[in-house]
Amino acid sequence: MMRSLICLACALALLSCGGKKEDTTNKNNIDSMNVREVVGIANIEPIDRILSITSEVSGVVQTIKVSINQEVKKGDILYILNNDLEQAQLNQAQSKLATQQSVISRSQTELATSEKKLDNATTNLNRNKKLFESNAITQKQMEDVQLTYDNAVLEVEAARKNVLQNNKRLSELQADVQYYQTLYNKKIIKAPMDGRILSVDTKIGATVSPGTALSDFAPKGPTIAITEIDELFADKIKIGQNAYIRAQGDTIILGKGKVLLTSAYLRKKSLFSDKAEDLEDRRVLEVRVQLDSTTHVLLGSRVECIIELK
C-alpha cells in the first residue's frame, strides 16, 4: 500500500513539471514572435476629449443660440436660462451703487469745504495770537477765534469719517453687484473654449438642473484615436510609433498618425466593455494616437487602430 502511494505521488510530480515546462515554452514562443504590428479597437475623439456643456444652476431654457455642428468661439453664448429675477436684482444693486457714488462725491465736496475752512481758521488764529500778545484784541475776541478754529477741526474730522463710512458702504454695494452679476451670468451658458457643437440635447421651455447635459462639445484641436492594447504587447508600444486607422473588417486606411501617449499602468478593459461588472481575464494598456487627418472618419467612430512596431 505504501509503495503504491509513493508511485502515485511521483507520477503527479512528473505531470506537474511537464505542464510548467510546456507553459514556459509557449510563453517563450509568444515572446519570440516577430510581431510587426498590433491591432486594437479605438474610439475617435478630440485631443481634449468630448465635453458635456452643462448648467451650473436650475432654470428654464429661454433661448438656444446654437445648432448641431456649429463652430463656436470661447465665450460665445450657447444657451440662456430664464433670468428675469436675476436681472431685476442686478439692476437694483447697480442703482444703489450709483446712488452711493453720488453720496461719496457729495461727502468729498463737504470734506474739501471743511478743510478750506480749517485753513482759514488756522491763519486767522495765528494772526490773532500776535494781536492778543500785543494787547490789540481782547480776551473775549481771542476766545472767539480759538472757538472758531476748534469747530473747524471738528468739522474736518467728522467729514473725513463720513467719507470713510461712505466708501465702506460703497465696497459693500460693489460686492452686492458682483454677487448678483454672478447669479445672472450663471443663467447664460457660454462656450468654454473654441470648438464645435456636436449635439443639442434640450429644447426651449425645458427645465434643467445643475449638471444637466445641454450639448456634447468637441474642443478645437487635433483628433486622436483612443485604443486599448492587450497586456501581451504592452511593453512593445512606444511614443512616436507610426499608426493608422481603418474601418472594422476593412483594409482601407482612413487616417495615419503617431502614438502620442501610453498609460503608465495596465487596467481592466473599459473603453469597449458593455457592462461595468463584466469580468475580464486580461488587462490592457490605454494608448492614444494623434492622427494627421480625419477627413473620412467622424468623431465617436469605432475603428481598428493598427500600431506599427517595426
Same domain, residue pair 57 and 100 = no
3-state secondary structure the chain: CHHHHHHHHHHHHHHHHHHHHHHHHHHHHHHCCCCCEEEEEEEEEECCCCEEEECCCCEEEEEECCCCCCEECCCCEEEEECCHHHHHHHHHHHHHHHHHHHHHHHHHHHHHHHHHHHHHHHHHHHHHHHHHHCCCCCHHHHHHHHHHHHHHHHHHHHHHHHHHHHHHHHHHHHHHHHHHHHHHHHCEEECCCCEEECCCCCCCCCEECCCCEEEEEEECCCEEEEEEEEHHHHHHCCCCCEEEEECCCCCCEEEEEEEEEECCCCECCCCCCCCCCCCCCCCEEEEEEEECCCCCCCCCCEEEEEEECC
| Residue after which a domain boundary falls, among 129, 162, 186 | 186
Residue 303 lies in a domain: yes
Q: How many CB atoms lie within 10 A of CB 289?
A: 27
Q: Dihedral through CA 112, CA 115, CA 116, CA 121, nearest 10?
A: 160
Instruction: Please list, in sequence order, all residues whose beta carbon lies within 8 angstroms of the beta carbon of residue 230, skipping any fewer than 6 positions away.
Output: 38, 40, 282, 284, 285
In DSSP terms, which residues pair with 79 in a beta bridge?
64, 189
Q: Report the alpha-carbon distance of residue 160 to residue 110 in Å, rounded.
A: 9
115 and 148 share a domain? yes
The whole-number pLDDT of residue 273 equals 55
Residues 213 and 268 in one domain: no
Q: How many angstroms separate the CA atoms of 31 and 258, rounded?
A: 24
CA 264 to chain centre: 25
In a domain, 23, yes or no: no
Do 110 and 157 have their domain in common? yes
**Does 142 lie in the same domain as 115?**
yes
Cell 494598456 -> residue: 285
Evaluate whether residue 17 is within a structural domain: no
Indicate which CATH number applies to the domain containing 302.
2.40.30.170
Does residue 229 lie in a domain region?
yes
Of 56, 49, 51, nearest to 189 (Cα)?
A: 56
Instruction: Assess if residue 249 is contained within a domain.
Output: yes
Whether residue 254 is found in the same domain as residue 203: no
Q: Are 66 and 212 in the same domain?
A: yes
Q: Quote the pLDDT of residue 234.
A: 87
Give me the pLDDT at residue 266, please: 87
pTM of the model: 0.70
Q: Which residues 6+ apart lie within 8 Å of 132 measured at CB?
A: 139, 141, 142
- Cell numbers for 59, please give them: 432654470
Same domain, 202 and 292: no
> What pLDDT is recorded for position 19?
46
162 and 293 both lie in a single domain:
no
208, 124: one domain: no
Q: Both 43 and 65 in a single domain?
A: no
Q: What is the 3-state secondary structure (H, E, C) of 164-184?
A: HHHHHHHHHHHHHHHHHHHHH
- Work out how many domains the chain is built from and give that number: 3
Note down the domain range covering 237.
35-49+219-308
Q: Are residues 141 and 171 in the same domain?
A: yes
Would you mind telling me the total number of residues written for the chain in this entry? 310
pLDDT (0 to 100) of residue 280: 54
C-alpha to C-alpha distance for 163 and 171, rounded to whole angstroms? 12
Identify the pLDDT of residue 11: 41
- The pLDDT of residue 278: 52
Each residue's pLDDT, cut to its tens digit, for the chain (310 residues) gives 434 433 434 443 434 444 444 444 444 444 545 778 999 999 999 999 999 999 999 999 999 999 999 999 999 999 999 999 999 999 999 999 999 999 999 999 999 999 999 999 999 999 999 998 888 889 999 999 999 999 999 999 999 999 999 999 999 999 999 999 999 999 999 999 999 999 999 999 999 999 899 999 999 999 999 999 988 888 899 999 999 999 888 888 889 999 999 988 888 776 555 455 555 557 899 999 999 876 678 888 899 999 998 7
Would you say 36 and 309 are in contact if contact means Cβ atoms under 8 Å apart? yes
pLDDT for 7 equals 42
Residue-level pLDDT at 279 = 52
- The answer to whether residue 12 is domain-embedded is no
**CATH number of the domain where residue 204 is located:** 2.40.50.100
* Residues 80 and 204 sit within 8 Å (Cβ to Cβ): no
Please indicate, yes or no, if residue 167 is contained in any of the structural domains.
yes
232 domain-assigned: yes
Give the residue carrying C-alpha cell 473599459.
Answer: 270
